[in-house]
């Protein structure tokens, strides 16, 4: 059955900005820093939020924000997303409006996220209704492949620093989507938006983020149906608690051949024949 997709603009901006700097010896040079722009999302003419973003995938970011904040349940309910950088706005038009929008924007949970970290509605409201695929498995060798792919991937971070990145991988470790933004929540929302638009299921997918594994990051991964959440950073207590509740594999401190498996050990297949001394000692 075909799904009616929203009409999207293609309003990508330049992701870096050149500035003149002076180092500790008084030497002047030109370096690139991440661009940052406000993007105000309007849903059926109602102003929802202003996000600070690189602007690399503003339409996907808008879709992912609406999905993860649970404003719109089905992609076919959205008629169009049009981004206009002349006015720093993303205008979303739905087919039949959004029910109870006043009530749904009243309750806010401020989270620990960098960038946009506010969730409309109760953070835990939908946890018990989410069931991740019980058959999904992640091989240790695939985990290493994911880490190496991220390490070598061309990125704004390598050029200019000061951004967070997220990536979606297939079950065998092939890169599907990569997104960067000034805040990790924007980056994950952009991936969520791309998955939503493409009708990509998360049942066997692997999600990697450069940011902390907080409760909201775990919740967003679960909403996408993804059973494996990886990070080069650490995890918070509530993120760990929620991952255990969801039976999600939470894997932190991913670097080289080192990682810390915090939850969901039954999903991980240890198939690497020669683990390093560093791995054995942790």
pLDDT digit string (tens) for 149-163? 999 988 776 766 668
Q: Residue 112 in contact with residue 95, Cβ under 8 Å?
A: no
Q: What is the pTM of this model?
A: 0.83
CA separation for the pair 196, 193 (Å, rounded): 5
Confidence at residue 162, expressed as pLDDT on a 0 to 100 scale: 66
Axis crossing angle, helix 58-68 with helix 215-223, rounded to the nearest 10: 100
**Strand 37-43 versus strand 89-94 pairing type:** parallel
Q: Could you please report the per-residue DSSP string of 195-208?
A: HHHHT---TT-EEE
Which pairs from 46-52 meet CB under 8 Å and 24+ separation? 46/101, 48/105, 49/116, 49/118, 51/115, 51/116, 51/183, 51/186, 52/115, 52/116, 52/182, 52/183, 52/186
pLDDT digits (tens, 9 = 90+) for 22-48: 888 989 999 888 888 899 999 999 999
Query: What are the residue ranges of CATH 3.40.140.10 in the chain?
Result: 138-280
Could you report the per-residue pLDDT of 162-179, keeping only the tens digit for each? 688 899 999 999 999 999
pLDDT confidence of 112, banded at 50, 70, 90?
Answer: very low
Provide the pLDDT for residue 110: 42
Give the SS3 label for residue 154.
Answer: coil
Cα-based distances in Å from 107 to 69, 83, 110, 266: 12, 27, 10, 36
Residue 2 confidence class, pLDDT cut points 50, 70, 90? low
Residue-wise pLDDT tens digits, 213-248: 998 899 999 999 999 999 999 999 989 999 999 999
Q: Residues 9, 39: contact at Cβ < 8 Å?
A: no
Take residue 60 and report the two structure tokens written for it: 């996907």
Residue 278 has pLDDT above 50, yes or no: no
Give the fold, CATH level 3, of 138-280: Cytidine Deaminase; domain 2 (3.40.140)
Percent of the chain with pLDDT over 90: 62
Mean pLDDT of the chain: 86
Domain 7-125 carries which CATH code?
A: 3.10.20.10
> What distance in Å separates the CA atoms of residue 35 and residue 16, rounded to the nearest whole number?
5
The band of 109, judged by pLDDT with boundaries at 50, 70 and 90, is: very low
Q: Where in the chain is the domain with CATH 3.10.20.10?
A: 7-125
């Amino acid at each position: 059955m075909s799904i009616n997709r929203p009409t999207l603009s293609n309003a990508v901006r330049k992701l870096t900005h050149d500035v003149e700097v002076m180092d500790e010896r008084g030497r002047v040079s030109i370096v690139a820093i991440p661009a940052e722009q406000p993007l105000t999302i309007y849903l059926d003419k109602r102003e929802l939020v202003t996000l600070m973003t690189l602007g690399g995938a503003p339409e996907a970011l808008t879709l992912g924000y609406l999905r993860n904040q649970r404003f719109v349940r089905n992609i076919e309910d959205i008629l169009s997303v049009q981004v206009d950088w002349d006015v720093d706005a993303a205008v979303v038009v739905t087919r039949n409006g959004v029910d109870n929008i006043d009530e749904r924007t009243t309750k806010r949970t401020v989270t620990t996220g960098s960038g946009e970290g506010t969730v409309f509605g109760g953070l835990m409201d939908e946890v018990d209704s989410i069931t991740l695929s019980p058959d999904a498995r992640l091989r240790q060798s695939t985990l290493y492949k994911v880490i190496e792919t991220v390490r070598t991937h061309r990125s704004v971070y390598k050029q200019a620093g000061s951004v967070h990145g997220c990536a979606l991988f297939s079950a065998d470790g092939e890169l599907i989507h990569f997104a960067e933004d000034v805040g990790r929540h924007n980056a994950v929302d952009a991936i969520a938006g791309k998955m939503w638009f493409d009708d990509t299921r998360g049942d066997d997918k692997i999600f990697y983020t450069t940011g902390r594994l907080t409760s909201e990051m775990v919740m967003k991964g679960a909403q996408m149906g993804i059973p494996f959440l990886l990070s080069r950073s650490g995890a918070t207590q509530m993120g760990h608690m929620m991952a255990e509740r969801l039976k999600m594999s939470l894997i932190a401190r991913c670097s080289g051949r080192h990682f810390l498996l915090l939850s969901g050990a039954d999903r991980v297949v240890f198939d690497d024949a020669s683990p390093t001394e560093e791995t054995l000692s942790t």
